[in-house]
Amino acid sequence: MDTFAFIIHPIDPKRDVSRKFPLLGKYLSVKQINFFSTFFPPVYISEIHGLRSAATHKEISGWFVACPYTPARMLELPERTVYRKIIQTGRLAEGLGARLLGLGAFTSVIGDAGITISKHLSIPVTTGDSYTVAMAVEAVREAARVMEIPLGRATAAVVGATGAIGAVSAELIARDVARLWLVGRRTAALEAVRERIAASPRAMAQVNISTGMKALAEADLILTVTSAVDTVIEPEHLKPGAVVCDVARPRDVSAQVAAARDDVLVIDGGMVATPGDVKFNFNFGFPPGMAYACMAETMALALEGRFESYTLGKNITVEQVETIAQIAARHGFRLGGFRSFERAVTPAQIERVRLAAQRAREKH
């Protein structure tokens, strides 16, 4: 069988633990969940079935398995301890019969982004970051279209631009927009990304760098993908009419943005419609048949029969992104509409944001 497995882990501790263990989620505090997660073994979550290729009509199955650590715990514990737990979770997947393993959320960014984990398992491993980039950039382009932002005249920003996802996303977005801000913590690393974009023959944007969030005040389109545990984008950072695509988990965009700014559109990055009548048999917060892009990369590779460590480490190329996008599209994966803070974004809501932005601009 062409099978796969995908590692998830609790991001919002009480909510996510409650999805599998309602009593533990109800009675344990966040601090207790963080503490006890050190001692929890890897957890079998569910079997996934009904994934069917639109091109070949081949149907495959897979599994969700969970590493019990929260993001906060992964950052507190020694790296080797975190590796050991993720590897144990990978071995659970191997025991189930998986031929390919996808790393979700923080399990894909800890340490060397999957390389060490891959070396300790007998099956190939992918972080899913290449398809995450493809879908995030597509979501930004589509959001610009529905918000009537002309891409060729727009100013964009990538927050977390020195990371694996951020750097290649910036390289792709630089093909579409007039100006691009690269936002990150280290000037030297930002300069390296700027040089990478300058060397790209298709880049057309004027590229600037910033180590602070003030640059976001100029941005019509923002893609944010830091590895921060806490939110980094607040209501005061954004101009009226801005689109923010938040790819990070935990989120980069504060919930205060949704509460205080009815004139900006915040969308969750990377929601993908899967082919076939997929049953995940576990509620991870998406509507039926929808998956994160990182999950979809693992599934698309399994449907393609490419049982290889496709995306590993902190350097992703445009070629990797374009290839996995072609593979996924052939099998029937596609952008699954917009969600914002786990709720569907409707055309009426987009229109309300556009009108509110127009009113805000007129006041100034």
Q: Has residue 270 got a pLDDT over 70?
A: no
For residue 342, what pLDDT is reported?
A: 79
288 and 138 in contact (C-beta within 8 Å)?
A: no
Alpha helices (runs of H) in the chain, residue ranges in sequence order: 13-20, 22-27, 30-36, 71-76, 79-96, 115-119, 129-146, 164-173, 187-198, 255-260, 293-304, 318-331, 347-363
pTM of this prediction?
Answer: 0.92
The arithmetic mean of pLDDT across residues 185-191, rounded, is 96
Instruction: Band the pLDDT of 30: cuts 50, 70, 90.
Output: confident
Structure-token pair, residue 144: 């610009």
Give the C-alpha separation, 205 to 183, whole Å. 15
Q: Has residue 140 got a pLDDT over 80?
A: yes
Give the C-alpha separation, 234 to 252, whole Å. 9
Averaged confidence pLDDT in the chain: 93
183 and 248 in contact (C-beta within 8 Å)?
A: no
User: How many Å separate Cα 356 from the centre of its chain?
Assistant: 28
Q: Where are the domains of the chain?
A: 3-130+273-335, 133-270+338-363
Give the C-alpha separation, 253 to 8, whole Å. 21
82: Cβ–Cβ under 8 A, 6 or more apart, which residues? 69, 74, 110, 111
Q: Which of 225-239, 259-273, 326-340 tops mean pLDDT?
A: 326-340
Give the C-alpha separation, 58 to 332, whole Å. 12
Three-state SS at 173: helix
283 and 19 in contact (C-beta within 8 Å)?
A: yes
Among 18-32, 93-107, 160-174, name the one with the lowest average pLDDT: 18-32
47: Cβ–Cβ under 8 A, 6 or more apart, which residues? 61, 62, 63, 281
The one-letter amino acid code at 127 reads T
State the fold for domain 133-270+338-363: Rossmann fold (3.40.50)
Instruction: Band the pLDDT of 27: cuts 50, 70, 90.
Output: confident
Q: Which residue has the tokens 């099978």?
A: 3
267 and 335 in contact (C-beta within 8 Å)?
A: no
Q: Has residue 268 got a pLDDT over 90?
A: no
The angle formed by the CA atoms of residues 322, 218 and 212, to the nearest 5 degrees, is: 85
Instruction: Band the pLDDT of 299: cuts 50, 70, 90.
Output: very high
For residue 115, what pLDDT is reported?
A: 96
**Residue 314 CB: number of other CB atoms within 10 A?**
17
Cβ burial of 118 (10 Å; 0-12, 13-18, 19+) is buried
Alpha helices (runs of H) in 203-346, residue ranges in sequence order: 255-260, 293-304, 318-331
Q: Which long-range contacts (CB under 8 A, 24 or more apart) does 200-204 make?
A: 200/171, 200/174, 200/175, 200/318, 202/175, 203/171, 203/174, 203/175, 204/174, 204/175, 204/176, 204/177, 204/178
For residue 256, what pLDDT is reported?
A: 92
Q: Has residue 330 got a pLDDT over 90?
A: yes
User: How many Å separate Cα 256 from the centre of its chain?
Assistant: 21
